[in-house]
Amino acid sequence: MLRTDSCGELDLNDVGRSVTLAGWVANRRDLGGLTFVDLRDRSGLVQLLFNPDVPDAHEKSQQLNREDVIKAEGVVSRREKENVNPNLPTGDVELEVQKLEVLNSSDHPPFSPKKGREEVNEVTRLKYRYVDLRGEKMRDNLQLRHRTFQSIRNFLTGKDFWEIETPILTKSTPEGARDFLVPSRLNKGKFYALPQSPQLFKQLFMIGGLERYFQIARCFRDEDLRAERQPEFTQLDLEMSFVQEEDVIGLVEEMLARVMEETVGAEIETPLPRLSYRRALDLYGSDSPDLRFDLQLVDISELVEDSDFGIFSSTVADGGVVKGLDVEGEEFARSELDELEEKARELGAAGLLWAEVNEEGELEGSFVRHLTEATRSRIVDAFSAQAGDLLLLLADDRETANEVLGQLRLELGRKLDLIDEEEWSFAWIVEFPLFGADGSGGVTSEHHPFTCPAEEDLEILEEEPLSVKAKAYDVVLNGLELGGGSIRIHRRDLQERIFRVLGITPEEARSKFGFFLRALNYGAPPHGGIALGLDRLVMLLAGEESIRDVIAFPKTGMAQSPLTDAPMEVEEEQLRELGLRLRDGKK
């Protein structure tokens, strides 16, 4: 080894020892003839002292620039009292350098790794990611990522799971996104797809009798990027044979509790709370509700369906709802209310109504005069509203009302400081519908087409597909979907029925999933599993707001890598070899 010790680990116990350190020059200061250098390695920082009494080392130290890589030999000494730095773990000591060697010099760095996120533009950070990684925050985030992964691996290994890889060059797996395609040179005109998830392979593992599988798997989905999406991301993917929903849920919550304890020292109470999909939407306007604060949506449709206020009665008559939020004891300025209404409109609502509860406990507001005394007081009761509360109301179709109020709820939670940032709020969302409407009269899978319908709904599969429940579950943390899974279909006849309901023709089913349908013929056991988004989990554990801050080499919102410049144009020759030609002469 080029060194005897790590910078960040020296303390008063080391005083008097001769040590050799190696690392990067974080900065250099000249003071009264002495030169001080902060030396950084992965473990932290320590101060080096260059004294003119040691002319060779002192002279060399004058040439040092930030981010030069050096090796320093010397003796650890206690700092003068006035020089102790209580903010640094090594702040009691310094290294009096006897010998200095420059292992490699650095160009002037584009930014100091010490600089905060706000101070350096993200594209620059990503372009020089190796400099950025030297900063404490990225280092800590990646270490946390490592510890999270190890905790998961240890837990699952202890539960008899085997970690097995699945192909990256493969065939489309439907998870609702576009595929990334890879042309095959040896099979011209044919393409591999990168896996959107290892879904079918893990099911084949179960058919192959492996019983318990997991993988920390890379998944590829070609989507328009949003803040928390990346074209490639990492999932904990797992699958188990001979299980029911309860078994997967039980295992995963035990694992999450373990991981939370081992990574951030948080104690999570299990079983985790559960909420049906319907209740989650009705009460929180979201299927990944943030349960760190209450503020539930209240439905008053029944109370106002016969009222003289046309907006209410006609909305309910048309099958819509009147719902709202009770903002306790808040006085909003007119401009704040206008902002909320503006936000509601942006989200697709026709408008937002508000009313106040006065000192007498009576409802006051522009539309209130259209309501009878009795209705007013029943509304106050429905919200359990108190004097001084503000009611925000929406009349719209159920979906829009839930969506908009769900967003307003989050906005208010932040604005009014209702969210306990220290809390870890996990929940399961269960009883999902198997299908959703596809907007053109057909249905699509809510999860993926391999999810098993609830037994009691098998009879109405074809007649009333939108009423069929799925044996599916999502796990939510602090208002973000962490992951989801399901019990799978393990019989070919049922799988084919589902394809039919989805409007997939037998030919299409055979060409896309023939290999899988065939496997279902050869003794597929009942099985189920789940996948959890690990980038997201680590992001939450790290208290970050973007998954890019917990991924070593992420891409930008345009799916580009500022570091490597991928994606790139390729040589004409490479295209020719692949049997490809670009359309429209587009480069």
Q: Considering the complex, state which of residue 529 and residue 562 has its C-beta at the smaller distance from ligand ASP.
A: 529
The residue count of the chain comes to 587
Q: Considering the complex, state which of residue 197 and residue 400 has its C-beta at the smaller distance from ligand ASP.
A: 197
Q: Considering the complex, state which of residue 175 and residue 299 has its C-beta at the smaller distance from ligand ASP.
A: 175
Q: CA–CA separation, 521 vs 490, rounded Å? A: 9
Q: Could you give the residue ranges of the DSSP H alpha helices within 18-135? A: 55-61, 122-127, 129-132
Write phi, then psi, for 501 (nearest 5 degrees).
-60, -35
Query: Contacting ligand ASP (CB under 6 A), which of 199, 263, 307, 478?
Result: 199
Stretch that binds ligand ASP, among 110-118, 405-413, 416-424, 479-487 (CB under 6 A): 479-487
Q: Using the rule CB under 6 A, is 215 a contact of ligand ASP?
A: no
Q: Report the DSSP pairing between strands 298-299 and 321-327.
A: antiparallel
Stretch that binds ligand ASP, among 311-319, 484-492, 500-508, 511-519 (CB under 6 A): 484-492
Stretch that binds ligand ASP, among 17-25, 345-353, 512-520, 528-536 (CB under 6 A): 528-536
Least distance to ligand ASP, CB of residue 197, Å? 3
Q: Using the rule CB under 6 A, is 486 a contact of ligand ASP?
A: yes
Q: Using the rule CB under 6 A, is 485 a contact of ligand ASP?
A: yes
Q: Using the rule CB under 6 A, is 232 a contact of ligand ASP?
A: no
Query: Contacting ligand ASP (CB under 6 A), which of 529, 537, 548, 555?
Result: 529
Nearest of 485, 515, 499 to residue 444 by alpha carbon: 499
Least distance to ligand ASP, CB of residue 480, Å? 14
209 to 213, 485, 517, 526: CA distances (angstroms) = 10, 20, 17, 11
Q: Using the rule CB under 6 A, is 530 a contact of ligand ASP?
A: yes
438-457: which residues touch ligand ASP (CB under 6 A)?
A: 447
The full 3-state SS of 156-188, as one line of letters, equals HHHCCCEECCCCCCECCCCCCCECCEEECCCCC
261 sits in which H/E element: helix 245-264
324-343: which residues touch ligand ASP (CB under 6 A)?
A: none
Stretch that binds ligand ASP, among 117-125, 138-146, 177-185, 482-490 (CB under 6 A): 482-490
| Cβ 128 vs Cβ 137: under 8 Å | no
Q: Considering the complex, state which of residue 37 and residue 475 has its C-beta at the smaller distance from ligand ASP.
A: 475
Q: CA–CA separation, 24 vs 109, rounded Å? A: 12
Least distance to ligand ASP, CB of residue 484, Å? 6
Residue appearing with tokens 């939108």: 466
Q: CA–CA separation, 368 vs 380, rounded Å? A: 12
Query: Total residues at the site for ligand ASP (CB under 6 A)?
Result: 10
DSSP code of 433?
B
- Burial (CB < 10 A; 0-12, 13-18, 19+), residue 568, is exposed
Least distance to ligand ASP, CB of residue 485, Å? 4
Least distance to ligand ASP, CB of residue 175, Å? 5
Q: Considering the complex, state which of residue 220 and residue 293 has its C-beta at the smaller distance from ligand ASP.
A: 220
> Strand ranges (DSSP E) for 170-317?
181-183, 191-193, 212-220, 232-241, 274-276, 298-299
Q: Using the rule CB under 6 A, is 175 a contact of ligand ASP?
A: yes
Nearest of 6, 98, 10 to residue 54 by alpha carbon: 98
Q: Considering the complex, state which of residue 128 and residue 432 has its C-beta at the smaller distance from ligand ASP.
A: 432
Stretch that binds ligand ASP, among 79-87, 297-305, 391-399, 483-491 (CB under 6 A): 483-491
Least distance to ligand ASP, CB of residue 160, Å? 19
Q: Considering the complex, state which of residue 148 and residue 451 has its C-beta at the smaller distance from ligand ASP.
A: 451
Query: Contacting ligand ASP (CB under 6 A), which of 35, 197, 407, 445?
Result: 197
Compute the C-alpha angle 341/290/334, nearest 5°.
20
Q: Count other Cβ atoms within 10 Å, centred on residue 434.
A: 26
Q: Which residues bind ligand ASP (CB under 6 A)?
A: 175, 197, 199, 447, 484-486, 529-531
